[in-house]
């Protein structure tokens, strides 16, 4: 069967994303930029939680990207209508919207860089190219706005058109980061856990102040004993999927070993970013020397 245009496009996209993922030479450029950024955010927990959307309950960056994408799409349509002589008054509206898109792009970039700082290996490289494409698109739109202000409308429209094409490529890469690599999504979304009691461990396995990993019907569960009481939550960190059992218990806070997110040992509530989503909690029942859990409603 001959390949359809859609399948050919899909194969071309796969080859391109694979080339970016495997381009390890990018690391020589990325790491000197990324490491100081990650260290700075680690040392400023409040700023990190703000930028990663802990206060909002999910990542802020995807929401803000709607501003430049929407504004520049509208600007493109208005420029197109103006080129057909539909209404000359559309020019001013297009120029204003182009500026709105620039402001939105700068805001989205700040939050996006914070999200990218936690990536590793392949997602790190794709995120870098995604960000670089956004810089190019934003620069082109900035040049377009300057040209429009100077009365060089044809140049301004041409720069906008070029910037919009770069924006489309960047948006596609952003989709790869979200839907292929799971950046910014809840990594426990499909781990519902059992509705009936499931035996998971012995009471001797869970010592005070220590974290213990177990499984309940294939769902990874974190067990922790604090002040004599046993608590349970999902072992998969909602932020980027790390095992919380490899972290530590600081008083009543479970700290993720990968990026330092903090969750209440009692109910899994997120207390410290970069995580924005709380951990699914489990009810705990102790009978004799056995511990059983079930999903908390």
pLDDT digits (tens, 9 = 90+) for 209-241: 899 999 999 999 999 999 999 999 999 999 999
CA atoms within 13 A on the CB side of 151: 0
List pLDDT tens digits, range 113-169. Answer: 999 999 999 999 999 999 999 999 999 999 999 999 999 999 999 999 999 999 999
| Residues counted in the chain | 297
pTM, two decimals, is 0.87
Structure tokens, 155:
């140049």
Number of H helices, E strands in the chain: 8, 10
Phi, psi of 293 (to 5 degrees): -135, 160
Give the pLDDT of residue 5. 73
- The predicted pLDDT at position 3 comes to 65
pLDDT (0 to 100) of residue 138: 97
d(CA 192, CA 184) in angstroms, rounded, equals: 19
Whether the pLDDT of residue 12 is over 90: the answer is: no
């Amino acid at each position: 069967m001959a390949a359809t245009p859609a399948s050919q496009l899909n194969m071309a996209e796969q080859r391109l994303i694979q080339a970016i993922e495997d381009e390890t030479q990018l690391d020589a450029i990325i790491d000197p930029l990324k490491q100081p950024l990650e260290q700075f955010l680690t040392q400023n927990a409040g700023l990190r939680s703000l930028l990663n959307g802990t206060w909002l309950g999910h990542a802020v960056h995807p929401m803000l990207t709607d501003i430049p994408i929407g504004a520049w799409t509208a600007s493109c349509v208005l420029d197109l209508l103006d080129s057909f002589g539909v209404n000359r008054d559309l020019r001013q509206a297009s120029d204003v919207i182009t500026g709105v898109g620039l402001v939105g792009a700068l805001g989205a970039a700040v939050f996006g860089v914070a999200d990218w700082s936690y990536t590793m290996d392949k997602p790190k490289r794709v995120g870098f190219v995604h960000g670089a494409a956004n810089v190019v698109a934003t620069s082109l739109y900035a040049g377009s706005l300057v040209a429009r202000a100077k009365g060089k409308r044809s140049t301004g429209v041409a720069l906008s058109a070029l910037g919009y094409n770069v924006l489309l490529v960047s948006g596609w890469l952003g989709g790869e980061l979200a839907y292929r690599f799971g950046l910014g999504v809840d990594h426990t979304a499909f781990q519902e856990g059992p509705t009936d009691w499931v035996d998971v461990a012995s009471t001797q396995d869970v010592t005070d102040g220590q974290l213990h990993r177990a499984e309940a019907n294939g769902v990874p569960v974190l067990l922790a004993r604090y002040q004599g009481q046993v608590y349970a939550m999902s072992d998969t960190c909602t932020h980027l999927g790390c095992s919380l059992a490899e972290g530590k218990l600081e008083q009543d806070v479970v700290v993720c070993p990968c990026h330092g997110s903090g969750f209440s040992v009692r109910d899994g509530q997120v207390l410290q970013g970069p995580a924005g989503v709380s951990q699914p909690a489990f009810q705990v029942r102790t009978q004799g020397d056995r511990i059983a859990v079930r999903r908390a409603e």
